[in-house]
């Protein structure tokens, strides 16, 4: 392997593919490369595989997509040999599952752990990428798969005095894994009430002496799926995993079976709508109470119904009123799921501080100072989220054709085609990233779909004697417009402050980053490109070299 060389020659390839990240997408990409006969190396800044499920080891962390769907389907043995203990499994079980898959697929040996990829530089003359790591390695490859995740770059705390706190401080996004965090009998403050806060608060409430929750924006919270797996469902799934995978790809969210109300909103009278809402609530899919739940009128009815259900679960009227999201419609922000979150506020040791009324002013050695009081604390838990979707890519120093940096190319927000490739950055692939169904789909299904598409693209290049490809600027414009077109159809998607559009990070350009056209439509669009011979891309001739670049 090379050590920080700058004199890369065309033939000095260390491996065909470098994969960065060892979560759902990275593990599968490593395996897939081997299956296609490509040499591959992986880098992961964590000490083990798991990605999201390695880092987010906070109490209460679990998936909210049913585990029998939130899993791989590429290998029948994996499907048949792994048993999930719960419909929505917990963090450690999902982490162990990913470890099991990585070992079974024999990819862990290809990964260099505890190593951050710091930069990636494209050489136009050779058509190769040089990847530089925190371990002082420079690895030259033809294809670069940045499986760095959408929710892997924690948001830096943007509160004055964070460093001055004298007690213990934890982030849900990098919770200690090497030791138990003992919160028993302590005064704990949690900042943030997104999904991570909603999952961790009830667990912390059980052990803390006092728990003070600092909430800026209330979120929708609906019942979660839970309980043992349905053995019939598991049996059916194991009979033909390939068929299940195809079924998942044919759905809107890469996920099934979901209850969808059979009736259209306008075909029902008031009583019928109420009945439909209750039925969907009991089926734990209240957002899909109507066949046409996406209509603004249907969405308004769903939002109002959830607000009422939330309000009645909390005993204290002021607290109930604060916990209900009055300011945005259901789906404008990422909704949360829990059966125990709201009830936690009925405990005598739990108190809500409403930051819209009394904002945090600063953190001091003894605790948190708001405009109304100083809250003394032993522990602060930051459930403050992520620099989502584009954040992990911005954190890398990526330089493409003619030295153009990704950070410049994405200065006004991410641009790409089909959510995976960026003009000016040939053979660089970005699974789980911007403008794919990503965080609004079952991301395990997405990881498999995108990695398949990436390696089918590479196989196509080989078969057609092409050294590489990147999308044309026109394709990127088309995809940006498509993303916006679908986002406009979703009530509140563009008007609500959310990490979907970068509003959670001070100074981040506001740019809607999730493709809401549906997994099925996305999948079809990817493979239509392949079948068309990549008409929306610029193809590099067999011997690489951008000087002879041609447009297809």
DSSP string, 270-309: HHHHHHHHHHHHHTT-GGGSSTTTTSHHHHHHHHHHHHHH
Output the smallest distance, CB 333 to ligand NAP, in A.
7
CB 338, CB 205: distance < 8 Å: no
Binding of ligand FAD by 40 (CB under 6 A):
no
Angle, CA 469 vertex, CA 463 and CA 471 arms, to 5°: 135
Specify the residue, 130 or 215, whose C-beta has the smaller distance to ligand NAP. Answer: 215
22 binds ligand FAD (CB under 6 A): yes
Choose between 150 and 368: whose C-beta lies nearer to ligand FAD.
150
Strands 374-376 and 210-215: unpaired
Report in angstroms how near the CB of residue 269 gets to ligand FAD at its nearest. 36
Q: What are the DSSP E strand ranges found in 355-453?
A: 360-364, 367-370, 374-376, 379-382, 397-399, 428-429
Provide the mask over 425-464, with x wherever binding to ligand FAD is found by CB under 6 A and - wherever it is not: ------xx---------xx---x-----------------
Which of ligand FAD, ligand NAP, none does residue 193 bind (CB under 5 to 8 Å by kind)? ligand NAP
Shortest Å distance, C-beta 57 to ligand NAP: 12
338 binds, among ligand NAP, ligand FAD, none (CB under 5 to 8 A by kind): none
Among 63, 71, 336, 526, binds ligand FAD (CB under 6 A): 63
| Cα 24 to Cα 30: distance, rounded to the nearest angstrom | 10
Q: Select 25 or 211, whichever has its Cβ closest to ligand FAD.
A: 25
276/288 Cα distance (integer angstroms): 9
- Cβ distance to ligand NAP smaller for residue 121 or 199: 199
Residues that bind ligand NAP (CB under 6 A): 63-64, 151, 158-159, 172, 191-197, 199, 214, 216-217, 334, 337, 355, 360, 383-386, 439, 499, 504
Give φ, ψ of 550 to 5 degrees.
-130, 155
Residue nearest to ligand NAP (CB): 194
What secondary structure does DSSP assign to 111-160, as a single string? EE-S--EEEEEEETTTTEEEEEETTS-EEEEEEEEE---SS-SBPPP-ST
Query: Which residues, 113 to 172, sit near ligand FAD by CB under 6 A?
Result: 116-117, 147-152
Closest to ligand FAD by CB, 175 vs 479, is 175
Among 14, 38, 43, 127, binds ligand FAD (CB under 6 A): 43
Which of ligand NAP, ligand FAD, none interacts with 360 (beta carbon under 5 to 8 A by kind)?
Answer: ligand NAP
E strand or H helix that includes residue 528: helix 519-531
Among 16, 36, 39, 64, binds ligand FAD (CB under 6 A): 64
Residues 334-363 that bind ligand FAD (CB under 6 A): none
Using CB under 6 A, which of 31, 68, 70, 429 touches ligand FAD? 70
Nearest residue (CB) to ligand FAD, 140 versus 389: 389
Check residue 61 for interaction with ligand FAD (CB under 6 A). Answer: yes
Q: Which is nearer to ligand FAD, 65 or 514 (CB)?
A: 65
User: Residue 263: exposed, middle, or buried by beta-carbon count in 10 A (0-12, 13-18, 19+)?
Assistant: middle
Q: How far is the CB of 290 from ligand FAD (least distance, A)?
A: 24
Positions in 482-501 near ligand FAD (CB under 6 A): none
Nearer to ligand NAP, 420 or 442 (CB): 442
Binding residue (CB under 6 A) for ligand FAD from 396, 422, 430, 487: 396
Contacts (Cβ under 8 Å, ≥6 apart) of 471? 416, 417, 418, 421, 422, 423, 536, 537, 538
CA distance 545 to 537: 16
CB 432 within 8 Å of CB 450: yes
232: Cα within 13 Å, side-chain hemisphere? 0
Place of tokens 């401080």: 169
Report, in Å, the least distance between residue 363 CB and ligand NAP: 10
Instruction: Pick the closer one to ligand NAP by CB: 370 or 450.
Output: 370
C-beta separation of 375 from 189 below 8 A: yes
Work out how close the CB of 431 gets to ligand FAD at its nearest, in angstroms, rounded to a whole number: 6
Q: Give the residue among 132, 219, 71, 159 at the shortest CA–CA distance from 362.
A: 159
| Contacted entry of ligand FAD, ligand NAP, none for residue 25, CB cut-off 5 to 8 Å set by kind | ligand FAD
State the Cα angle at 126 between 122 and 132, rounded to 5°.
40
Do 341 and 226 meet the contact criterion of CB atoms below 8 Å apart? no
Q: Could you give the CA distance from residue 210 to residue 189 in angstroms, rounded to a whole number?
A: 8
Three-class secondary structure of residue 514 per DSSP: strand
| Residue (322 or 445) nearer to ligand FAD, CB | 445
Closest to ligand FAD by CB, 149 vs 325, is 149
Among ligand FAD, ligand NAP, none, the one that 399 touches (CB under a kind-dependent 5 to 8 A) is: none
Assess whether the previous peptide bond of 83 is cis (omega < 30° from 0).
no
> Could you tell which of ligand FAD, ligand NAP, none binds residue 504, using a CB distance below 5 to 8 A set by kind?
ligand NAP
Query: What is the closest distance, in whole angstroms, from the C-beta atom of residue 42 to ligand NAP in the complex?
Result: 24
- Given a contact cutoff of 8 angstroms between Cβ atoms, the answer to whether 138 and 131 are in contact is yes
Verify binding: residue 46, ligand FAD, rule CB under 6 A: yes
Q: Which residues bind ligand FAD (CB under 6 A)?
A: 20-26, 43-46, 51-52, 54, 56, 61, 63-65, 70, 116-117, 147-152, 196, 392, 396, 431-432, 442-443, 447
């Amino acid at each position: 392997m090379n050590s920080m060389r700058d004199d890369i020659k065309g033939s000095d390839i260390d491996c065909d593919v470098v994969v960065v990240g060892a979560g759902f997408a990275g593990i599968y990409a490593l395996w897939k490369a081997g299956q296609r006969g490509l040499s591959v190396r992986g880098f992961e800044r964590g000490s083990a595989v798991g990605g999201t499920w390695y880092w987010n080891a906070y109490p209460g962390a679990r998936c909210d997509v049913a585990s029998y769907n939130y899993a791989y389907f590429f290998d029948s043995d994996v499907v048949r040999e792994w048993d999930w203990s719960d419909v929505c499994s917990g963090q450690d079980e999902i982490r162990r599952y990913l470890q099991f898959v990585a070992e079974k697929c024999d990819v862990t040996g290809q990964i260099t752990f505890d190593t951050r990829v710091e930069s990636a530089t494209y050489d136009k003359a050779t058509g190769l990428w040089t990847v530089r790591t925190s371990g002082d390695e420079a690895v030259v490859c033809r294809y670069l798969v940045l499986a760095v995740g959408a929710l892997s770059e924690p948001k830096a705390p943007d509160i004055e005095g964070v460093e001055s706190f004298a007690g213990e401080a934890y982030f849900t996004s990098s919770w200690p894994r090497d030791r138990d965090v003992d919160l028993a009998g302590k005064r704990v403050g949690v900042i943030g009430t997104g999904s991570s806060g909603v999952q961790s608060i009830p667990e912390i409430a059980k052990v803390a002496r006092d728990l003070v929750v600092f909430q800026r924006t209330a979120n929708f919270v609906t019942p979660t799926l839970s309980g043992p797996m349905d053995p019939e469902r598991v049996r059916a799934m194991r009979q033909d995993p390939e068929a299940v995978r195809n079924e998942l790809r044919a759905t809107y969210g890469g996920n099934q079976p979901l209850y969808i109300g059979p009736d259209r909103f306008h075909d029902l009278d008031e009583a019928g709508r109420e009945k439909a809402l209750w039925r969907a609530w009991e089926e734990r899919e209240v957002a899909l109470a109507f066949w046409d739940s996406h209509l603004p009128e249907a969405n308004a009815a769903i939002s109002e119904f959830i607000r009422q259900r939330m309000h009645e679960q909390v005993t204290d009227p002021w607290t109930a009123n604060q916990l209900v999201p009055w300011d945005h419609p259901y789906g404008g922000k990422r909704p949360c799921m829990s059966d125990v979150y709201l009830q936690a506020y009925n405990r005598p040791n739990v108190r809500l501080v409403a930051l819209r009324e009394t904002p945090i002013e600063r953190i001091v050695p003894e605790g948190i100072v708001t405009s109304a009081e100083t809250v003394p604390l032993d522990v602060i838990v930051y459930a403050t989220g992520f620099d989502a979707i584009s954040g992990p890519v911005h954190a890398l120093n990526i330089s493409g054709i003619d030295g153009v940096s990704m950070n410049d190319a994405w200065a006004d927000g991410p641009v790409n085609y089909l959510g995976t490739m960026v003009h000016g950055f040939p053979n660089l692939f970005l699974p789980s990233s911007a403008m794919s169904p990503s965080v609004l789909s079952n991301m395990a299904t997405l990881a498999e779909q995108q990695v398949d598409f990436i390696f089918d693209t590479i196989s196509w290049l080989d078969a057609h004697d092409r050294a590489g490809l990147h999308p044309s600027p026109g394709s990127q414009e088309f995809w940006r417009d498509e993303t916006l077109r679908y986002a406009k159809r979703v009530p509140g998607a563009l008007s609500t402050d959310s990490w979907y559009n970068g509003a959670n990070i001070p100074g981040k350009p506001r740019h809607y980053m999730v493709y809401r056209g549906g997994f099925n439509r996305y999948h079809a669009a990817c493979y239509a490109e392949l079948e068309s011979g990549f008409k929306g891309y610029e193809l590099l001739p067999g011997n690489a070299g951008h000087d002879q670049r041609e447009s297809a």
